[in-house]
Amino acid sequence: MTATTLDPPAVSIQNVSRLFRTRQGTTQALKGINLEIADGEFVALLGPSGCGKSTLLTLIAGLDTPSSGEISMYGTKQVGPNTAAGFVFQKDLLLDWRSALSNVLIQFEMRGIRPGKAEVARARELLAMVGVEQFADAHPFQMSGGMRQRVAICRALVHDPRLLLMDEPFGALDAITRERLNFELAEIAARSKKTVVFVTHSVEEAVFLADRVIVLSPRPGVIHAEIVIPLARDQRGWPGEGTPLDPYVRQARQAMDAIHLERENVA
Amino acid sequence: MSASGVLRTSPRQLGRPADEPKPERLPSLWRERVGTGLWGLAGIVVLVLLWQVIVMVTNQPQTTLPSPIAVAQSIAKNASLLWSGVLVTAREIVIGFALAVVIGNLIAVLLSLSRFAERLLYPTLVLLNTVPKVAIAPLIIIWFGFGPTTNAILTLVIAIFPVIVNTTLGLQSCGDDYLRLGKAMGGNGLRLFFKIRVPFAMPSILAGTKLAMTFGTTGAVVGELLAGQAGLGYVSQFSAGQLDTPLTFAAIVVLSALGLVLFYLVVIAEYFILRSRQPTH
Ligand SMILES: Nc1ncnc2c1ncn2[C@@H]1O[C@H](COP(=O)(O)OP(=O)(O)OP(=O)(O)O)[C@@H](O)[C@H]1O
Ligand SMILES: [Mg+2]
């Protein structure tokens, strides 16, 4: 969070816009986004559906190029896919013909590494951590949506990336599992000092996890508000009334309400 | 990656609901894909019995409709003739089919490498696929003469189209999402192709292969009927000419059995390749 001025930021987004041209017309998914994310920082992207959260994350991953503006990673301009990151997509994108374990190991195979004992052990450890170890040899169609998503999370973590990009990774989970995994993620991120960009619809989730919550508003996607949460991440409790995180939840919710009001007035 | 991963010492094992069931057994694709053949066999038995009854009741002459018993006797009597026919026909089918699968898949892969080539050639191939290809048999005979080579080539020509069309379709079936996932993981062209696109295409490739086998069998037999000097198609042709109808039937029965065996070999291969996936129906 408190990066020294000498360190280049992990992610630097400068005046980035993204237009989608389709037969139905042009959509301005993002407009003039400026954002710097320090090494080791946890940033949550919060906003209503269609405000460009996934688009921004895809741009950071280098899987898409901005229509204008520039994105840099640790001081070097992004060209092409950022393969050093770990990406959890909004859909689990598991491969049907592979077991859960093998779906995690494809991360190595795509990098030209033949998974050996160490890699398999590492993958199994992660599967155990998210609670699906007994499904290691099962295939995706035998798993529930939540289990599949947990396997996808393991796949994004298995190569121990410095930058973790997560697009609503817990969206398909029940409330209890979701809370548990949030605690687990908070611990992983804090202990391994990973830089995380985390997309979510949930105000509580964003406030619980992040050093900074960026609230985006749609059409065009712009940064609407920024909420800094200066509490140590690994010592937080789940936000609720009267808890230390409560004021930040209120702040974030107000920002979200303002966006909804604006939209209703436009409509 | 570091062996002493930061997650190694995790004290909490969170996110594990207590009452998660054990994985269910894989649904028996074997029973579904291959086992249904047993019911098919039972159906054949019923049909043969019906056939026998009809012959007995209507009292048809042997030259018009021989009884199953007469056909069985003919098979026994002409066993060596039929067996040499099986060898000739099977060879034609297998050679033509194998070439169709190899060349057809190669063409489909080349097409999938170039968007331009695919756009240019694929519609033509689909169009050609719908043409009744046995119609070109006389042309093949003109070019390659009479004999097993012509029949194998006819098999190849007829069988190659479903292979090209289905494999091309299959290679297109992989969603962009998955390719992006592969790229995010550092995958290069070759790895994306073999670890993502080809497995995605596999069901379609195998569907094409099955069609190639059925089409190919027809190809070889048409060739033998028109221009054969050996093979089961030839046996059925000349025996009909001599009004030895039981032998004609015998040849057809053996040919059907051969076709069935070859087709089921492909089905079994399909079973082993796809068995770890969700059954599609
Ligand atoms: N490939 C695309 N082609 C055309 N338009 C697109 C494309 N991807 C996104 N858009 C548009 O850009 C806007 C932002 O989409 P995006 O997927 O980033 O939203 P989001 O904030 O992730 O929404 P959600 O919370 O529902 O996932 C939407 O209006 C969407 O229609
Ligand atoms: Mg999204």
Instruction: Convert the pLDDT of each residue in B19-42 to its tens digit.
Output: 445 555 555 666 665 666 677 788
Separation of first and last alpha carbons in chain B: 42
Contact with chain B for residue A131, Cβ under 8 A: yes
Reply yes or no on whether the pLDDT at B7 is more than 70: no
Contact between B202 and A109 using a beta-carbon 8 Å cutoff: no
CA A87 to chain centre: 8
Q: How far is the CA of A54 from the centre of ligand 1 (A)?
A: 7
Measured between beta carbons, which residues in chain B are less than 8 angstroms from residue A158?
Answer: 1
- The residue nearest atom 17 of ligand 1, judged by CA position, is A54
pLDDT in tens, B248-269: 999 999 999 999 999 999 998 8
Q: For chain A, which ranges sit under pLDDT 50?
A: 1, 3
On average, the pLDDT of chain B sits at: 83
Contact between A129 and B7 using a beta-carbon 8 Å cutoff: yes
The per-residue pLDDT for A78 is 81
The per-residue pLDDT for A196 is 94
The per-residue pLDDT for B3 is 41
Give the distance from residue B117's alpha carbon to the nearest chain A alpha carbon, in angstroms: 25
Minimum-distance ligand 1 atom for the alpha carbon of A55: 18
Q: What average pLDDT does this structure show over B170-183?
A: 90
Reply yes or no on whether the pLDDT at B96 is more than 50: yes
The per-residue pLDDT for A193 is 87
Measured between beta carbons, which residues in chain A are less than 8 angstroms from residue B196?
Answer: 95
Minimum-distance ligand 1 atom for the alpha carbon of A56: 18
Give the distance from residue A194's alpha carbon to the nearest chain B alpha carbon, in angstroms: 11
pLDDT in tens, B184-193: 998 888 899 9
Residue list, ligand 1 pocket, CB within 6 Å: A 20, 22, 27, 29, 47, 49-55, 90
Measured between beta carbons, which residues in chain B are less than 8 angstroms from residue A109?
Answer: 191, 195
The per-residue pLDDT for A95 is 93
The per-residue pLDDT for B25 is 53
Strands of A11-22's sheet in order across: A25-37, A11-22, A68-73, A76-77
Q: β-pairing, A222-228 with A212-217?
A: antiparallel
Q: Measure the CA–CA gap between B154 and B218, rounded to whole angstroms.
A: 9
The per-residue pLDDT for A266 is 66
Instruction: Measure CB to CB from residue A129 to each of B13, B185, B186 and give the nearest one.
Output: B13
Structure tokens at B132: 């009744």
Domains delineated in chain A: 1-84+162-224 (3.40.50.300), 89-161 (no CATH)
The per-residue pLDDT for A57 is 93
- pTM to 2 decimal places: 0.80
Reply yes or no on whether the pLDDT at B14 is more than 80: no
Contact with chain B for residue A142, Cβ under 8 A: yes
The per-residue pLDDT for A154 is 93
Residue A113 is given by DSSP the state: P
Q: What average pLDDT does this structure show over B172-192?
A: 89
Task: Give the 3-state secondary structure of residue B157.
Answer: helix
Neighbours of A24 (CB within 10 A): 7
Report which residue type is found at B49. Answer: L
Q: How far is the CA of A161 from the centre of ligand 1 (A)?
A: 26
Asked if A224 and A32 touch (Cβ cutoff 8 Å), the reply is no
Contact with chain A for residue B184, Cβ under 8 A: yes
Most informative mutation of A53, A89, A90 for ligand 1 (most atoms within 8 A of CB) = A53
- The residue nearest atom 18 of ligand 1, judged by CA position, is A52
The per-residue pLDDT for B262 is 93
Neighbours of A172 (CB within 10 A): 18
Instruction: Measure CB to CB from residue A83 to each of B5, B23, B184 and give the nearest one.
Output: B184
Reply yes or no on whether the pLDDT at B247 is more than 90: yes
With CA atoms as reference, report the closest residue to B78 among B208, B226, B248: B248
- Within 13 Å, how many C-alpha atoms sit on residue B23's CB side? 18
The per-residue pLDDT for B12 is 42
Q: What average pLDDT does this structure show over B272-276?
A: 82
